Amino acid sequence: MSHDIAVEARDARKVYGQGIGAVTALGGVSLQIRKGEFFTLLGPSGCGKTTLLKLIAGFESPTTGHILLDGSDITFDPPNERPVNTVFQSYALFPHLSVADNIGFGLKMQGRPKAEVAATVTRMLALVRLDKMADRKPGQLSGGQQQRVALARALAPSPKVLLLDEPLSALDLQLRKEMQIELKRLQVETGITFIFVTHDQEEALTMSDRIGVMQSGHLLQVGDPRTIYTRPANRFVASFIGESNFLTGTLDGTALTLDAGPRMSVEAGQGAPTQGRVTAAIRPEQIRITSATLGDGIPAKVTQTVYFGTDTHCRVVLKDGTEITVRLQSPASGDVGLHPGSEVTLKFEPGALIVLPEAA
């Protein structure tokens, strides 16, 4: 089993500074990343995802803990001795070298024969579709082209793992979408393990095989995009990835009595409590609104509707004062027929409500 693991962090902890001023950037993270996987580290800035990436690249060493590559300990190997390459957020292309020389830099430093370097560079140029740009300097390229040079440069030495440090954040939306598809294609074509760092949850959901969500130096949840979205491990994950509404109530087995009204049956969440006060999360698009005030839903009052084109967001307030957002598909007329002050009933499938592991 372990030979399927490309990179492993064992209780990796990173503390900057000492004594009172010490800052814990990474608080004991253990993680296994599989071979050939597109793994994304997702979290807000300062959550420790870039620190973890630096530990894997070798720019920093952990205060305690270990980093393993293909099962061997590389914790203290310098970056130039690790078969791991990085695509930097700023690209960090060498301004004095041509595109071809940039791409061949790693191979040249490794002392590979000239013919091999030239052949690999040609192959890489074709891979990132920059064949005609080989003799240009990075300063003469657009942002997207520079991005692809950075990718080709990091892929050329055929690293065991490719690290990508928010590489798309400097691109505009259109280009970012193109590069997301391009990155995924490159990963599939080369079969190299990608570790991708981002704070953009949409990017993470669309590209990754698995996502690790981080916050304040801790890994909160690791799983495939669907699991992360539909079964968030806690309140932070539920609100950081997509939008979530939170409801409080009292749980007894699978029966949940919401503070805002009815009693309903829920599925037991992973690691979630089965008794007492709990918080449950529900996605805005999982809720339906009916204008009838009867039935077994949750009674609510509309406070605001905002038209977003395909969707209309409807803010409602519950009996206990909890505010909830409901995302409705806009009808052909564009008007959902709800107005501030309308009395409505909220309904949803039992499985849509997820009990979170932490206490309310």
Query: Whole-number minimum distance, CB 105 to another protein, in Å?
Result: 5
| Sign of torsion over alpha carbons 345, 350, 351, 353 | positive
CA 253, CA 276: separation in Å to the nearest integer?
A: 9
Query: Whole-number minimum distance, CB 26 to another protein, in Å?
Result: 19
Q: Which of 30, 90, 254, 265 binds another protein (CB under 8 A)?
A: 90
Contact between 232 and another protein (CB under 8 A)? Answer: no
- Whether 314 and 328 have beta carbons less than 8 Å apart is answered as yes
CA 233, CA 106: separation in Å to the nearest integer?
A: 41
Contact between 88 and another protein (CB under 8 A)? Answer: yes
- Residue whose CB is less far from another protein, 169 or 304: 169
- Residue whose CB is less far from another protein, 168 or 353: 168
Contact between 275 and another protein (CB under 8 A)? Answer: no
Would you give the binding string for another protein spanning residues 103-142, x where CB under 8 A is met?
Answer: --xx-xxx--------------------------xxx---
> Which part of the chain contacts another protein (CB under 8 A), choosing from 52-60, 191-199, 268-276, 285-293?
52-60
Residue matched to tokens 């990132």 = 128
Query: Whole-number minimum distance, CB 60 to another protein, in Å?
Result: 11
Q: Which of 27, 36, 46, 79 binds another protein (CB under 8 A)?
A: 79
- Residue whose CB is less far from another protein, 162 or 266: 162
Q: How many CB atoms lie within 10 A of CB 105?
A: 18
Cβ neighbours of residue 22 closer than 8 Å, sequence gap 6 or more: 15, 16
- Whether 115 and 93 have beta carbons less than 8 Å apart is answered as no
Q: How many CB atoms lie within 10 A of CB 357?
A: 16
Contact between 85 and another protein (CB under 8 A)? Answer: yes
* 84-87/161-165 β-pairing: parallel
Q: How many residues bind another protein (CB under 8 A)?
A: 29
> Which part of the chain contacts another protein (CB under 8 A), choosing from 73-81, 189-197, 263-271, 325-333?
73-81
Query: Whole-number minimum distance, CB 106 to another protein, in Å?
Result: 4
CA 51, CA 175: separation in Å to the nearest integer?
A: 27
Q: Which of 9, 29, 33, 57 binds another protein (CB under 8 A)?
A: 57
Query: Whole-number minimum distance, CB 45 to another protein, in Å?
Result: 18
Contact between 80 and another protein (CB under 8 A)? Answer: yes
Q: Which two tokens stand for residue 50?
A: 């870039």
Q: CA 358: distance to chain centroid?
A: 22
Query: Whole-number minimum distance, CB 240 to another protein, in Å?
Result: 28
Binding residues among 307-336 for another protein as defined by CB under 8 A: none
Q: Which amino acid is at 237?
A: V
Would you give the binding string for another protein spanning residues 144-163, x where CB under 8 A is met?
Answer: ---------xx--x------
CA 98, CA 167: separation in Å to the nearest integer?
A: 21
| Sign of torsion over alpha carbons 233, 236, 238, 240 | negative
What is each CA distance from 93 to 114, 120, 126, 148, 231, in whole angstroms?
Answer: 21, 18, 19, 11, 40
Q: Which of 94, 129, 142, 306 binds another protein (CB under 8 A)?
A: 94
- Residue whose CB is less far from another protein, 54 or 283: 54
Longest dimension (CA), the chain: 79
- Whether 266 and 306 have beta carbons less than 8 Å apart is answered as no
Binding site for another protein (CB under 8 A): 57-59, 78-81, 84-86, 88, 90, 92-97, 105-106, 108-110, 137-139, 153-154, 157
